[in-house]
Structures are given as C-alpha cells and as structure tokens.
Amino acid sequence: MQAILLAAGRGTRMRPLSNEVPKPMLTVAGRPIVGHTAAAAVEAGADELVMVVGYGQETVREHFGSSYRGVPVSYVEQDEQQGTADAVRAAKEHIDGAFAVLYGDNLYDPAGIDALFDAAPSIASVRVPNPSNYGVLNVSDGAVAEIVEKPDAPQNDLVNAGAYVFPAEARDMLDVPLSERGERELTDVLDRVIDRFNVSPVTLDRWMDVGRPWELLEANEWKLGTFDRRVDGDVSDDATVQGDVVVEEGATVRDGSVVEGPAYISAGATVGPNAYVRGCTFVGPDVHVGHAVEIKNSVLLAETSVGHLSYVGDSVVGRRVNLGAGTNVANLRHDGEAVSVTVKGERVSTGRRKFGAVVGDDAKTGINTALNAGVKLSEGARTMPGETVSTDR
C-alpha cells in the first residue's frame, strides 16, 4: 500500500524552532518526527512513501533520499498550503489503489498503524479525557457514521487521530471546497468516504500531535521510553550511565559525569567532565554539555554548547545555541500553577507544572543569565551578563 506523508506545513506554532527546519524534521529521540511516522508506515507494510513537501522541503528530501528502509520514496510539492485535503490532492497523480495518509508531525504507536492498514478502509482513533477539543467519531455497527468537530456534548471519548487508509475511489473525492477557516480539510474528504464505504475505527494505544514547543518534550519522553540501553560511544570508567541510555558511536561521556535514563547522547556530543544528565533528555549531534552542568528532561537539538556551571530543565534548546556560564533556567512557578507560553501572540497554558525555556537557533546568553519559566528566546537572540529574562525576546 502507498503511504502519503504530509510534511508541507509551516509549523507556525512551533516558532522559533521551525524557522529554519520544518516542524516534521525537528528531532524527537534521535530521529525527525516524520522519521517516526515513516518508520511506522514501513513497519505496517507500506511499499511506497509519498512525501508531500513545501516549506523547508530540502531538509526532508536530503534526509530520506529516494528510498527509506528499502521502500521507494517520492516527493510531491504543495505550492500553496491550502489545507490537508489540498496536500493529498497534490499527490493525486501518484495514487494507484488504496492509500494511507499519515501526518508528518504526528506520532503514532506503530502497532496501531499496523492494525489500521489491516482494517482498510479505516480511521485511527484514540480515547481522550477531553473529546470536545477534537473531531469525535460516532460509530454505528462497527463503522464510523460521522465525525463531529469539537462538539459541545460529545457522544463518546473516541477521537480522530489523524491517520487513515482510504479506498482507491477516494482519489476522485479530493476536491473539496474551502472550509470556514479557509482551508481544504481532509475531514471533508472523509465525510464523503464515510457516506459510501464502511470505514473501521482502529483505536491506537497512543497518539500525539506535535504542534507546540513543549509538545516536543512529551514526544521525546514517549519515544525515549521505547529504547533499550545501547552504549556504543566512549564512556569514561569514572562516569556512571544508569538505565536505558543510548550513547551513539562517536559520543563521549567524560569523567565524573552521571547520565540517568531514559536519555540519548548523539554522535559527536560530549558530556562532562562532571556533568549531570537526568532522565528524558535528548542531547543532539555535536552538542557540548560541559563541566558542572545539569540538564533535566530537555531537548538540546544540535551543535549547541552548555559549556559550564549551568542548569537547563524542562526546556527545548535549538541549534548552535551558546548558553554562557551560569545560565539558569527556572522551570517551576512559585504558585505551582502550569507554566504558560506565548504562541502566535496568545498566552497558552502548557498544562505542565514544570516547563522551562524555548531557545531559538543561534541564540547566545551572557554569563549568569536567568531565564524565567515559559520564556522564549527568538532565533539569534542575545542576553547580557547577569540578565534576568522574564518576557520573550
């Protein structure tokens, strides 16, 4: 079966992390988000991957090339981002038979995608405590009868998890009008398919839509938790590596350091001497975590340096960032309330009691900078020595 992977979104809610890298290419546990999606599709038996690309497409093309895990990969460009149905329509000429559609910024449990492919035509669903925030599936006689977007009084807790297998006939149902919010929605295509076919709901154990910076932490927590211990890098006899930690070949953990799993130390990264890397941390390629630095439950994307005497907790740090000595991130409010972050001009609760900072690519902090909980530093931002940063810049 062909799997169409949607990876042409701009990822505006993920800024500044998506300024240079398209959101589906942001790393979660050592692999781009869309790499997890592609792997799930291939494991489920996809025999061709069609990537719909647009914004930042070079990075997607470079990463996947013309074949991925033995499966051919082709690319389709979506010129203008008019919505998810428009993205699938861009791939219309490639469609030949029943086809799956997965989102390049969603994480799925791979066994669930396997079951989805087996049950075609099918829709992935998941049970949630707050169905009113999603598209709720109403099911009758084992088939999806309708999808109700964000209902005030949901009939059940089963919601659309953004993965589908369409019958071949859906190829001719992709032309849908613009919705109220001005997009061509895949759910409108689904409505047409549901009218004519028995579409099975397949319940995934877990699913995540990764849209905002703090969701990268949750994504990382999930996927790191699925890895077994693998130490291929160079770990000093005087360092302690506890639990399910991946130390890639070419990574170095120096004297006196402690790494607690689950954690991932990528090729080219150095940790220590005397560093403390705590659980659910991803240390990206060529990142430097130096002397007396503590990193907890954080993502350090690539080529970033936290040289010495700093604390980074529950934070997402971009590429080529330099955190000056003594940079400290606050990750807990005095009142214990959930930390909020500004997304597209609006304050949004992360729902996390502990959340630190979001630091854009190429930012540099002066020594002894304090970053308050929920603060975002934009790409290339600078702070002066001793500064306390409480609002985004």
Binding residues (CB under 6 A) for ligand TTP: these are: 6-14, 23-24, 52, 78, 81-84, 86-87, 103-105, 183, 211
In the bound complex, what is the minimum distance in angstroms from residue 123's beta carbon to ligand TTP?
16
Rounded CA gap, 21 and 9, in Å? 11
Residue 148, CB half-sphere, CA atoms under 13 Å: how many?
14
- Minimum CB distance to ligand TTP, residue 7 (Å): 6
The reply to whether 291 belongs to the active site is no
Type of residue at 19? N
Nearer to ligand TTP, 28 or 323 (CB): 28
Cβ distance to ligand TTP smaller for residue 12 or 390: 12
Q: Which residue is nearest to ligand TTP (CB)?
A: 9
What is the distance between the alpha carbons of residues 27 and 284, in angstroms, rounded to a whole number?
8
Residue 334 Cβ, how far from ligand TTP at the closest point, in Å? Answer: 31
Closer Cβ to ligand TTP, 11 or 35, answer by number: 11
- Cβ proximity to ligand TTP: between 86 and 188 the closer is 86
Query: In the bound complex, what is the minimum distance in angstroms from residue 83's beta carbon to ligand TTP?
Result: 5
Q: Out of 36, 94, 291, 308, which one is annotated catalytic?
A: 308
**99/276 with CB nearer ligand TTP:** 99
Q: Which residues, other chains included, contact 332 with Cβ-Cβ below 8 Å and sequence gap of 6+?
A: 339, 353, 354, 373
- Can you read off the two tokens belonging to residue 15? 């800024």
Euclidean distance between CA atoms 16 and 357, whole angstroms? 12
Compute the least distance from the CB of residue 84 to ligand TTP, in Å. Answer: 5
* Residue 161: CB minimum distance to ligand TTP, A: 13
Smallest gap, in angstroms, from Cβ of residue 19 to ligand TTP?
A: 12
When the beta carbons of 236 and 378 are compared against ligand TTP, the nearer one is 378
Residue 345: CB atoms within 10 Å: 5
Q: Based on CB atoms, which residue is closest to ligand TTP, 11 or 272? A: 11
Report CA-CA distances (Å) from 34 to 53, 66, 212, 375: 11, 15, 15, 27
Annotated active-site positions, please?
308
